[in-house]
Structure 1
Amino acid sequence: MTNTTESPVPPNHDGATPAAPAIAVPSWVGALTGVIAAGVALAIGELISGFTATVPSLVIAVGELFVDKAPGAVVESGIQAAGTNDKPILLFTIVIASLLVGALIGREALTNRRRSDIGFLAFGLFGAWAAQRNPFSSTGWAIVAALAAAAAGALTVRVALGIASIPQVSTDVDGVAPADSFPARRAFLGLTGAAAVAAVGVSTLGRSLRNDRSVEAVRQQVSLPPAGGATASGAIATTGVVAKATPAAALDAVPSISSYITPSKTFYRIDNALVVPQVDPKKWKLAIGGLVDRPLELTYDDILAMDLVEKTVTLSCVSNPVGDKYVGNAVWRGVPLTTLLERAGVQPAGKQIVGISVDDFDASFPTELAYDGRTALLAVGMNGEPLPVIHGFPARLVVAGLYGYVSAVKWLQEIRLVDDDYEAYWIPRGWSKLGPIKTQSRIDVPRSSKVAAGNIAIGGVAWAPGKGIAKVEVQIDNGEWQSCTVGGATSDETWVQWKLDWDAKPGKHTIRVRATDKTGYTQGAKQVAPEPNGAEGQHAVSVTVA
């Protein structure tokens, strides 16, 4: 039976026209009203955020709050379960949760309209609190925008339920309509349907306006100065840089194997930014401070005027499970970090280098690692072009041999020297303070679980940045380990490709790979989860040969 709530009406009087009967408004009407009202509130928030960068979307603001406050294990579980889809899934979940809260508020409004006002006020205050935490946000405007969105939601409830409660003069002999009568059904559904369509349209407009603030057009106009014989930016330059960085002995010709240089468009992206920061290089400045003798502030042009170098470095996310895709090899152009540190003058107490992004994410690593001979760059270019926006434009850090969570800060705005006690974002959340990349290998081909009998290539990549790969071996079923052909590499800071020709016989087979780095370490078979300092184990795939 459908729950209903009667709207109060005045009593009948003898001899007078029968009063409008009490309207029994079904409970689903309140719930639907609340859902639509919450959608309207979120849409108004999206629209306002589209007009100004100082007011974040309410959905994004709450999402950022969740990311900041969630335990590291929760965030890691999200990455493992959803991969690079974790951000849209989180935002979708927040929208659904908001609509469900709206449904509860709407049902309460059936008996007391003030409850919906209070509910949406709380809705707005929570959104304002979340929004003002955003580093790009203006606290005052964030509060105004959130309360405006809440007011729109509360008004929607009042108008919709007011229409739903419009009585109909009864023509019954007794002057009483049936208890389940809902005479304003058509008007109510028409209004809520129109409000839903308007909410979707307004939300879409807001996101479109926000996208118009993209700095991609500005990025495409940047011409990077040459480094190491590279040409200017552009498609031709990108092709030339990639070709130059690919060793003659690379195994790119092996079908379906990962290319030696990972294209920028397919390079993995794992970070905390729910919305990619849009940083105008004309307004951007890099601060270098903390425990230094001469604090610096550099513009984008200042950095481009320095002597740039170009290095090929493999980066990996610490969340990368054995055999997964969150690793890539690219050509990075930028200024050696030591050049900047020497200008600033690092004090003896400056034991850690902290990179801080424009959205306040931070990561740190020991200062001594910048001086031990590894590649450590303030990077402004990737694969022959200015950094793609999603990979940190206008500048980021690239440090060979370290997982990204302790080094690879994108959208960089500050380099700060601190003492040993400092703990960056991921450390209090359960991850190791030191994050050296572990020796790993991956099978890229065969990719299908079914292959034809005969001679086929088994191939993939292996990496141990800073140590280098000495050999790669493959085991078929429980047979002997077989040495693979290992492709060339420009340095020990990049991955290598490998292949093995296999005479595949019919049946089910398990293919396993292991790598040995140049320190003599060989990957073990024991599987270790990524948390707290990176996954371990041998990658294996099962295939059926027919």
Structure 2
Amino acid sequence: MAIAVELLAILAAVGSGHLVAGFLAPSSSPFVAIGDAVVRLSPQPVVEFAKSAFGTADKLVLLAGIAVLLVLVATVGGVAARRRPAPGTAVVIVLGLLGIAAVATAPALQPAGLLAPVTALLVGVLVQRSLHRLATAAAAEHRAEAGAGASVGAGASVGAGNHGAGARGPARLRRRTALTGASAAVLVGSFAAAGGGAALASSGRGIADSRAALTRRLAAARFAERAPAIPGSAAFPDLGTTPFITSNADFYRIDVALRIPAVRAEDWTLRVHGRVARELALTMDDLLERPLVERTITMTCVSNTVGGNLVSTADFVGVELAPLLREAGIDPGADQIVATSRDGWTAGTPTATVLEPGRGALLVVGMNGEALPPEHGFPVRMIVPGLYGYVSATKWLTELELTTFAQRSVYWRDRGWAERAPIKTQCRIDAPVGFSRLAPGRVQVAGVAWAQPVGIAGVEVRADDGPWVRAELATEVGPNTWRMWRAELDLGSGSHTLTARATDRRGDTQTAERVDPIPDGATGWPSVIVTVA
């Protein structure tokens, strides 16, 4: 019973903390805050392993792991608290203090958010002490009853034994009923509180309505530039390549946010400050008064391994970033733009790259015909074509600071990643998939290549150590997008290794040297093994 008491106490603490956080600041839920702290403090190899092993489910796996750990801790605390409540109370207090510390050290701390972990701590202790008292009383009554029964069995007065049991019966029933009722109430209340907190965090802030309203505004807006239509010859889906435009649901997502920040477009503001002649403070209305452009852009994650799928393409709608920064009057010595997310995450982008003519850096508000999805940065994110996302694609953008690389470090650079990260020329084999069984003869090989912002000039494919065969390239949509390719190889019976390599418009061919993503992106030729029989 002591273990159940400890579990219920911790569950009550988690539920109450989640509920209070739903009213005040979703990220201040102690359960979520501890998860965020784990992400921040984990060694980089552990983070990369989680990305590669679990993909976009890495956050769910982390939270599930924390839940399992809490159950184990509750079990230990319950065993230690079988005779007296103090050890179990101490466990709840330690967990509560960890929750408070996690919230207090979060990058985007809101002072009111501390109320959530404090409430969790107090509720947890109250429930643990109260249920332990009821459980102890019920156990003592059970032992006394067992002792009385043994006395009767040894020859004590039957009448006296029955009389004592009858007197204790109602009291015993009341204690057990109280314990059962209190436990059930705690269990139901905890789940209800956690669910209520989740509902408040996700929909109680009007995000869905705000996105719908912004989508309508974008549909009615006048554009200074529209993305050209994607020709049918830009992809080879019949051969197994990915669609040219990635749907919002399928677009890769890599970030450190366990709880997606919730900001209505109507409440959004952007502060541009630091080494500028004049600070700017922009609202969504201010942003939408500027010329809107729509561009097809391929985004690539630095964590993408050779042949990986952390690369996607969409039609993005936004406002040119360079003119906005020039309005602020940039100090010539400010070589870095630090972008800050709503959750406190930071990225450092080279100022010169953003200001480069034709680069097309954007403050993005729309994606594939609608306002940005929450998981992709609603209401505003930043995109700089040609740079890996960790230095250029801040989601849930709230702040831009003009500074220098020497003066200010940022999230991933603190963890060993490179200061500047131009996207490397890469390609991928989409078909045939690895370990396919194929018929002998002519085999179609197809895939995708990218080299933003210069574009792909050629792709070559070979079987085993044979000669390179030049692939047919699909119609080019633009230098900032990927390019599909296909080729035919004549394969005889046996096992074959198919390899591809790409060359960009500068004439640079991707290197065969295999390098892991850290610190500035993976290199190497993608390959798949197939069997022909």
* TM-score interval, normalised by the smaller of the two chains: 0.7 to 0.9
In structure 2, what is the equivalent of residue 423 of structure 1? 409
Residues in 1 aligned to 2:139 and 2:192: alpha-carbon distance in whole angstroms: 24
Residues in 2 aligned to 1:411 and 1:521: alpha-carbon distance in whole angstroms: 35
In structure 1, what is the equivalent of residue 163 of structure 2? none
1:277-292 equivalences in 2 (<5 Å): 277-292=261-276
Residue 209 (str. 1) matches residue 200 (str. 2): yes
In structure 1, what is the equivalent of residue 160 of structure 2? none
- Selected match of 2:149 from 159, 171, 178: 171
Higher helix share: 2
Q: Deviations over 1:40-76 (max 9, x none)?
A: 2212222333343367222101011122222333222
Distance 1:201 1:543, change over 3 A: farther
Q: Deviations over 1:98-117 (max 9, x none)?
A: 22222222222223312322
**Structure 1: tracts of 5 or more residues without a match:** 1-28, 177-182, 231-240
In structure 1, what is the equivalent of residue 210 of structure 2? 218
- Selected match of 1:141 from 109, 115, 133: 115
In structure 2, what is the equivalent of residue 53 of structure 1? 25
Q: Deviations over 1:443-490 (max 9, x none)?
A: 111236334425443111101102221110111122211111111222
Distance 1:67 1:328, change over 3 A: same
How far off is 1:131 after superposition? 2.2
How far off is 1:77 after superposition? 2.3
Distance 1:498 1:294, change over 3 A: same
1:73-92 equivalences in 2 (<5 Å): 73-92=45-64
Distance 1:320 1:158, change over 3 A: farther
Distance 1:407 1:158, change over 3 A: farther
| Bigger Cα displacement from structure 2, 49-58 vs 262-271 | 49-58
Residue 470 (str. 1) matches residue 444 (str. 2): no
Q: Conserved in 2, the CA contact under 8 Å of 1:254 and 1:459?
A: no
1:290-301 equivalences in 2 (<5 Å): 290-301=274-285
In structure 1, what is the equivalent of residue 477 of structure 2? 490
Q: Conserved in 2, the CA contact under 8 Å of 1:54 and 1:141?
A: no
- Selected match of 1:276 from 247, 254, 260: 260
In structure 1, what is the equivalent of residue 298 of structure 2? 314
Which letter maps to 1:209? L
How far off is 1:200 after superposition? 3.6
**Structure 2: tracts of 5 or more residues without a match:** 155-171
| Bigger Cα displacement from structure 2, 216-225 vs 115-124 | 115-124
In structure 1, what is the equivalent of residue 74 of structure 2? 102
Q: Deviations over 1:368-415 (max 9, x none)?
A: 111223121111111232111111111111001111111110000011
Residue 433 (str. 1) matches residue 425 (str. 2): no
- Selected match of 2:354 from 330, 354, 370: 370
Q: Conserved in 1, the CA contact under 8 Å of 2:29 and 2:117?
A: no
Residue 250 (str. 1) matches residue 234 (str. 2): yes
> What is the DSSP-based 3-state SS (H/G/I as helix, E as strand, rest coil) of the residue aligned with 1:257?
coil
Residues in 2 aligned to 1:330 and 1:403: alpha-carbon distance in whole angstroms: 16
Q: Conserved in 2, the CA contact under 8 Å of 1:108 and 1:115?
A: yes
Residues in 1 aligned to 2:474 and 2:34: alpha-carbon distance in whole angstroms: 47
TM-score by length of 1: 0.85
Q: Conserved in 2, the CA contact under 8 Å of 1:515 and 1:522?
A: yes
Residues in 1 aligned to 2:153 and 2:429: alpha-carbon distance in whole angstroms: 79
In structure 1, what is the equivalent of residue 157 of structure 2? none
Residue 402 (str. 1) matches residue 387 (str. 2): yes
1:441-460 equivalences in 2 (<5 Å): 441-447=427-433, 449-453=435-439, 455-460=442-447
Distance 1:439 1:368, change over 3 A: same
> What is the DSSP-based 3-state SS (H/G/I as helix, E as strand, rest coil) of the residue aligned with 2:398?
strand
How far off is 1:365 after superposition? 1.6
Distance 1:112 1:257, change over 3 A: same
Distance 1:140 1:317, change over 3 A: closer
How far off is 1:220 after superposition? 1.5
Identity across the alignment (%) = 38
Residues in 1 aligned to 2:191 and 2:307: alpha-carbon distance in whole angstroms: 40
How far off is 1:175 after superposition? 8.2
How far off is 1:133 after superposition? 3.7
Q: Deviations over 1:207-228 (max 9, x none)?
A: 2333223612310121212324
Residues in 1 aligned to 2:127 and 2:386: alpha-carbon distance in whole angstroms: 51
In structure 2, what is the equivalent of residue 481 of structure 1? 468
Residue 302 (str. 1) matches residue 286 (str. 2): yes
Residues in 2 aligned to 1:55 and 1:337: alpha-carbon distance in whole angstroms: 29
Residues in 2 aligned to 1:435 and 1:451: alpha-carbon distance in whole angstroms: 39
Which letter maps to 1:89? V
In structure 2, what is the equivalent of residue 524 of structure 1? 511
In structure 2, what is the equivalent of residue 323 of structure 1? 307
Q: Conserved in 1, the CA contact under 8 Å of 2:298 and 2:313?
A: yes
Residues in 2 aligned to 1:166 and 1:442: alpha-carbon distance in whole angstroms: 71
Residues in 1 aligned to 2:354 and 2:413: alpha-carbon distance in whole angstroms: 20
Which letter maps to 2:528? V
Q: Conserved in 2, the CA contact under 8 Å of 1:509 and 1:543?
A: yes
Residue 44 (str. 1) matches residue 16 (str. 2): yes
Residues in 1 aligned to 2:516 and 2:139: alpha-carbon distance in whole angstroms: 55
Q: Deviations over 1:241-295 (max 9, x none)?
A: 6xx4414531244343112221222110000111111111111100000000010
In structure 2, what is the equivalent of residue 120 of structure 1? 92
Residue 542 (str. 1) matches residue 520 (str. 2): no
Give the aligned CA root-mean-square deviation in angstroms: 2.6
